[in-house]
């Protein structure tokens, strides 16, 4: 397994388990950026803010977990792609409305860009509107 593959896997697991930036920064370059064309993530441009957003979501969706479907490394372009399904039920406090008790299973993809052995940028590809509707937030 290449070093970017193992680094990407460690970052992905920590981020998706809601460990937050304090743990996730281990595998990232200082100032690592983030982007997504998804309404709940508009305005989040740093990977640190995104990792902490994921940590906060674990309080809102306490049973949240992911099911990894595919994980691939593109050595030529220094990127790693992870495709997973996020599962969670809104039973915790927080979120845009009081707990709805509703669940979602939402497909998403991370594209993690590297310089050397450090992640410099993550793009999240996610149809947030469907997840928000499932959870009763839209």
Q: What is the pLDDT of residues 79-127, one digit of tens each?
A: 999 999 999 999 999 888 999 999 999 999 999 999 999 999 999 999 9
Q: Which residues contact 65 (CB under 8 A, 6 or more apart)?
A: 86, 87, 88
115 exposure class (CB count in 10 Å sphere: 0-12, 13-18, 19+):
exposed
d(CA 54, CA 37): 16
- In CATH terms, 3-135 corresponds, of 3.10.450.50, 3.90.1150.10, 1.10.10.10, 3.40.1080.20, to 3.10.450.50
Q: Which token pair is 136? A: 């009763």
Domain borders along the chain are 3-135
**Could you tell me which of 112, 128, 124 has the C-alpha nearest to residue 27?**
112
**pLDDT tens digits, one per residue of 31-70:** 999 999 999 999 999 999 999 999 999 999 999 999 999 9
């Amino acid at each position: 397994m290449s070093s970017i593959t193992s680094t990407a896997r460690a970052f992905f697991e920590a981020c998706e388990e809601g460990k937050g930036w304090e743990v996730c920064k281990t595998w990232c370059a200082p100032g690592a950026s983030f982007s997504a064309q998804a309404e709940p993530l508009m305005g989040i441009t740093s990977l640190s803010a995104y990792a902490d957003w994921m940590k906060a979501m674990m309080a809102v969706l306490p049973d949240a977990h992911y099911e990894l479907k595919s994980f691939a490394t593109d050595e030529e372009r220094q990127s790693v792609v992870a495709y997973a399904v996020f599962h969670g039920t809104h039973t915790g406090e927080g979120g845009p409305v009081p707990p709805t008790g509703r669940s979602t299973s939402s497909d998403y993809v991370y594209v993690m860009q590297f310089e050397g052995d450090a992640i410099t940028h993550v793009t999240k590809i996610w149809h947030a509107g469907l997840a928000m509707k499932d959870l009763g937030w839209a």
